[in-house]
Amino acid sequence: MRLFVGIIGALLLVSSCGVVGSINGSSSKPANLTLETSKAKSYDKIIPKEAISQKGLFSVHNVNDKYFFEISDSILNREILVVTRFIKTPAGSRNYGGEEIGEKTIIFEKGPQNKIFLRVSTLVSMASEDNEISQAVNNSNVTPILESFEIATRNEDENSSVIEVTDFLNSENTLLALSSPQKDSYGLSSIEKDKSYILGISSFPLNTEVQTVKTYKAKASKGNRKKELPAAILSGVVTLEINNSFIMLPKKPMKKRMYDPRVGYFASSYLEYEDDQQQVDRNTYIHRWRLEPKAEDMEQWKNGELVTPKKPIVFYLDPATPKKWRRYLIQGINDWQQAFEQAGFKNAIVGKEWPKDDASMSLEDSRFSVLRYFASPFKNAYGPNIVDPRSGEILESHIGWYHNLMNLLHNWYLVQAGAVDPRAQNMEFDSELMGELIRFVASHEVGHTLGLRHNMGASYATPVEKLRDAEWLRKNGHTSSIMDYARFNYVAQPEDSIPSQDLMPRIGDYDKWAIQWGYGKIPEGISSQTEKELLNQWVVDSVSNNPRLWFGGEGRDFDPRSQSEDLGDNAMVASTYGIMNLQRIVPHLTEWTKNRSSDDYSSLDQVYQSLIKQYENYLFHVSKNIGGIYVTPKTVGEQGEVYCPVPKSVQKEALVFLNNNILKEPKWLINNEILNKTTSPQSKESITKTMESVLLNLIGGSRMSRMTFIAERYTNEDTYAPEEYLDDLNQLIWGDMNVFYSTTAYQRKIQKAYVAHMITLYKPSEAEGIVEGILAKLSEGYTSNTDVRSLALDNLTSLQRKIKGTIPVITHRMTKAHLQYLKREIDEVIGELKDPPNFYIPANPDISIKAEENE
């Protein structure tokens, strides 16, 4: 995931056509590896007896600080995955030991003139050798040669070739070091070869691990030294420690399981060509571990009995993990055992502590999946997976866990559950509570390593009122998936007496079903098409009978059912409950954030900002209903529409909520006891900024053009027409102007923001300021050649007339000055409104009739 700050690249869904790994472009015929006699050197001349050697995927020899790989003929033309990770990083780099730098698939092959070539493989398209079109595919897929090695000698007894790799491992190349964009992000230039060296190499039967130290020159500063690494400022160079894992991919790839967009798995894909097809197909398959029964348990597994897999999934904890949190992290890993039981496996996944004093194990070794613990001020965690690109088989994972994540968990839990759980009402949680929070996050991240994507629609399956039902929550939890961003049950009220364990997410119905769908048994020997139909039927039968199994994706653009941080099936009701709890919390924040008498009020400021962010979430959850479209992916055999506009009544309910909670000043949130103790400008101006953001969102070009499209497209339905919506919004913001009209400072800010955004909507070139500039850029693309700009002009003209008629009669001085300012702003864009002329109407009725007819 990236759970808390966004999502990282390794967790994206389906790559379009650049998935790594293929045999295209390499010969599948055995190579002639007889060494040319003119260049022949005996094996013992190159690898003398005093060489330090070890056998493995590559037999590795160290001869006087020169390193040689001995490559067996049997692994030529075999795919090898190279995973590059940091071991140690410079201070201030925002990367940590164990984090991935990149991955590529390579092939060693025999080249001419006693050479071994290293090719980088790219799986873009594929065709079975049984098809004649496979020749055309091979003709258009030549893989690049990254490196050429001279064969130093042959070991005919072992049928292997020896190549020197010292310079290659120490060099600056995209396989084993930083890429150009990565160097740019660090502010680095070329490698310093005299300060770079091989730290060590370890070789194992299926993998070889290379550790190097690489030192780079730092680029000359261009004035912004805040982005430079401290090491670069102090010395002009930056040193990194890097690990490269060379992993032999299985000779026979695991059987792929076809992807279905209605089940949330990460996936890979390639173009597939066949002689009989009339259009090119995309073969898309999910990421999952290879879980298979032991041979002796196969019949029991087929008969539905639980069996232990041949090779369980094991996650080790980084020995740097604080001891007090280890059991909670292990519990979070083991929580997934119940889901795998639904797929027919027991003890399929296990969390363990890292063995002490075992020299044969390394945290960077690709044979081991590890939860790496980072001493970092950042508040984050993520769960990637490394896959065989040919089949989607997950080979290993290194979960990233940042120490300061606990601060984020604390603030979330305090503002979401502080009104109902007394344990949350202080700045330092007891170990048991923090442990429970850590356990939930660990479960979420492990879900990603199992292949599961976020399911932001899972919380929609829970009716809002059930979030206040203790018995229902005990059985079902507050969301159907731990892969949702449904944090904690903020709907529960104090009088509901909900136990704390039912305020937190846990493995739910969807999670168990998704694991069953991805890992459960499928009849052997069936065709890909039959398998696809079977998997499709599983989805149709299951989801149609149980809406809690619906996959809502990472947050579909315009579907209000699929949002992060929300709860329940009605955002307006859920957010009302949430705000009621925030109103209970605000008066106690000063007391709850006290820690030591010597502390300042930075904790108060921090939690107050978190509370405002929570309040903003509620507002934006609601606003997404306006102009929203329900998106429910279906196959041809299913009933119902894929796209359906949000009902007009729901959109109007959303607008009423926003009027009550942001268009009208939320005075309960403006707490002087808090604001008089905080120095952060962000806190003091937060309410205004929130209002401006919501208003920008409500009349942005994207929303307005979408509402216009919906009104045009769904003519037979009761849609919320954009002109009606703007009329309703205008009435809420401006009200009825008359001689008694007066405004508060908050109302004047809203009205200024409204006019500025409406001007931008009408004429993007008139946008002023950063926010308006962003809106203008978006509006230009969304609103050109639509009715939106016409509606904006119509609204500005009506408002101009309304203001002009009110100014002469108004008595409230500040309101009058405010309206004069707004009139001038509008006049400058659309021109000053002139008084209508006094038309002469002739007495002759025939002329009047003709004039009316002409009109």
**HEC string for 356-377:** CCCCCCCCCCCCCEEEEEECCC
Which band of pLDDT confidence, cut at 50, 70 and 90, is reported for residue 792? very high
- What is the pTM for the complete model shown? 0.87
The residue ranking higher by pLDDT, 122 or 677, is 677
Which band of pLDDT confidence, cut at 50, 70 and 90, is reported for residue 637? confident
- Which residues, in sequence order, are bridge partners of residue 243? 85, 211
Q: What is the mean pLDDT of residues 809-821?
A: 95
* Percent of the chain residues past pLDDT 70, beyond the cut: 85
The residue ranking higher by pLDDT, 430 or 98, is 430
Q: What is the mean pLDDT of residues 546-563?
A: 92
Out of 240-244, 399-403, 675-679, 822-826, least confident range: 675-679
Q: What is the mean pLDDT of residues 704-711?
A: 93
Say if residue 22's pLDDT is above 90: no
Report pLDDT digits (tens) over 395-428: 999 999 999 999 999 999 999 999 999 999 999 9
What DSSP string runs through 310-334?
Answer: SS-EEEEEPTTS-HHHHHHHHHHHH
For 709-716, the CB contacts below 8 A with 24+ separation are 710/627, 710/629, 710/645, 714/645
CA nearest neighbour of 349 among 447, 235, 203 = 447
Say if residue 383's pLDDT is above 60: yes
**Sequence-ordered list of residues with C-beta below 8 angstroms from that of 520, at least 6 positions apart, any chain:** 342, 343, 344
Across 484-514, b (16+ Cβ under 10 Å) vs e yields bbbbbbbbbeeebebebebbbbbbbbbbbbb
**Other Cβ atoms closer than 10 A to 652:** 16
**Sequence-ordered list of residues with C-beta below 8 angstroms from that of 417, at least 6 positions apart, any chain:** 424, 488, 489, 490, 492, 500, 503
The residue ranking higher by pLDDT, 636 or 293, is 293
**Sequence-ordered list of residues with C-beta below 8 angstroms from that of 190, at least 6 positions apart, any chain:** 172, 216, 217
pLDDT at 362: 85
Say if residue 164's pLDDT is above 50: yes
* Percent of the chain residues past pLDDT 90, beyond the cut: 67
Q: What is the mean pLDDT of residues 754-768?
A: 83
Compute the distance between CA of residue 724 and CA of residue 651 in angstroms, rounded to an integer.
12
Token pair recorded at residue 557: 């653009």
pLDDT at 275: 59
Out of 141-150, 510-519, 528-537, 594-603, least confident range: 594-603
Query: What sign for the dihedral angle of Cα 740, 746, 749, 754?
Result: negative
pLDDT at 472: 97
Q: What is the mean pLDDT of residues 441-468?
A: 97
Compute the distance between CA of residue 845 and CA of residue 405 in angstroms, rounded to an integer.
82
Report pLDDT digits (tens) over 180-189: 888 888 888 8
Burial of 779 (0-12, 13-18, 19+ CB in 10 A): buried
Q: How far is the CA of 184 from the CAs of 102, 187, 214, in angstroms?
A: 15, 5, 16
pLDDT at 141: 63
pLDDT at 247: 94
Report helix, strand or coil for 457: coil
Report whether 360 contacts 317 (CB < 8 A). no
Compute the distance between CA of residue 797 and CA of residue 782 in angstroms, rounded to an integer.
22
CA nearest neighbour of 242 among 105, 398, 86 = 86
Report pLDDT digits (tens) over 272-322: 756 566 666 778 999 999 999 999 999 999 899 999 999 999 999 999 999
Out of 91-105, 255-269, 811-825, least confident range: 91-105
pLDDT at 240: 92
Which band of pLDDT confidence, cut at 50, 70 and 90, is reported for residue 445? very high
Mean pLDDT (the chain, rounded): 87
Report whether 266 contacts 287 (CB < 8 A). yes
Q: How far is the CA of 527 from the CAs of 23, 283, 343, 818, in angstroms?
A: 23, 14, 21, 72
For 124-129, the CB contacts below 8 A with 24+ separation are 124/17, 124/18, 124/19, 124/22, 124/24, 124/270, 124/271, 125/17, 125/24, 125/270, 125/271, 125/272, 125/273, 126/22, 126/24, 126/270, 126/271, 126/272, 126/273, 126/283, 127/272, 127/273, 127/274, 128/274
Say if residue 8's pLDDT is above 70: no
Structural domain boundaries of the chain?
A: 19-249, 302-648, 699-830
Amino acid letter at 286?
Answer: I
Report whether 317 contacts 351 (CB < 8 A). yes
In the Cβ-directed half-sphere of 466, how many Cα atoms lie within 13 Å? Answer: 18
> DSSP character for 624?
T
In the Cβ-directed half-sphere of 437, how many Cα atoms lie within 13 Å? Answer: 23
Out of 393-397, 574-578, 700-704, least confident range: 700-704
pLDDT at 676: 87
CA nearest neighbour of 261 among 643, 516, 632, 8 = 632
Report whether 147 contacts 120 (CB < 8 A). no
CA nearest neighbour of 151 among 261, 286, 38, 318 = 38
Say if residue 334's pLDDT is above 80: yes
